[in-house]
Amino acid sequence: MATIILFCALTIFTSLISSVVRGSPIEISAGDPGTLWPNNPFATLLTFDDLPNGSLAFYEFAGVSLMGNGAIEANTIPGISAQPAGDSTRYLTVSYPSPAGDVLFKFSGQENYFGLYWGSMDRYNTITFLNDNVKIASFSGVTVASLTGLVADGDQHSSLSNRYINFFLGSNAFDEVVLSTTYFGFEVDNIAFGDPSVPMPEPSTLVLVGSFLCLTFFLPIRRRPHIENRRAGPDADAGSLF
């Protein structure tokens, strides 16, 4: 009895706080120095190695499309873009040809993990997450650096400003990511996304199940009248207990 009452109390408590807790905290982490790839084996990986050098107009990949003010480069262009440290392959630079602009990653479904090898992290670089055209969160290079122990000083060679960055949004699903900069440049490579969290039952579902169990417990148990006085014996119907 006490256990059922406690369960009912917890169910009611869950229903009260469900309107306050809307999403899990966003986790930001940096990979080991020199690591150019995500440490997430379940993520979908997007590289730019098969794309031609030049201005980015529109590219369609499996599960995501890219569009905006950017370019695919294979080397450092002084004053415009710097190849991420340790990266010998093609990379994406934002913005191009203008010094300020953005590139939009639009996903075919909702995701909750996003990773990128961020080259020469700058204070004027910004990454923004959106879902259904509503902004979820936005992080500048300075913010990401301060949260991961790095430095957003634009150094083209230091491991403190060239690092793989992981964003895990938990229950805060997104379907768009915008990489923007107010000046040359925002250089990235080896984009990773996906790894959706296992969906948990909605609070309303938990409340419904809990309420049903509570209601079931307190309802009187009704038996058929002829069962109450029936004895089990050799002549009883073995095929049924009721």
Inform me whether the pLDDT recorded for 97 exceeds 50: yes
Inform me whether the pLDDT recorded for 3 exceeds 90: no
239 or 112, greater pLDDT: 112
Inform me whether the pLDDT recorded for 16 exceeds 80: no
Q: What DSSP string describes 181-215?
A: ESSS-EEEEEEEEE-PPPPPPPHHHHHHHHHHHHH
Inform me whether the pLDDT recorded for 148 exceeds 70: yes
pLDDT digits (tens, 9 = 90+) for 60-83: 998 999 999 999 999 999 999 999
CA–CA separation, 29 and 198 (whole Å):
21
Q: What are phi and psi of 35, to 5 degrees?
A: -85, 120
Residue 137's pLDDT band (cuts 50, 70, 90): very high
Q: What are phi and psi of 139, to 5 degrees?
A: -130, 130
Report all structural domains of the chain as residue ranges with CATH numbers, in order of start: 22-194 (2.60.120)
Calculate the average pLDDT of the chain: 79
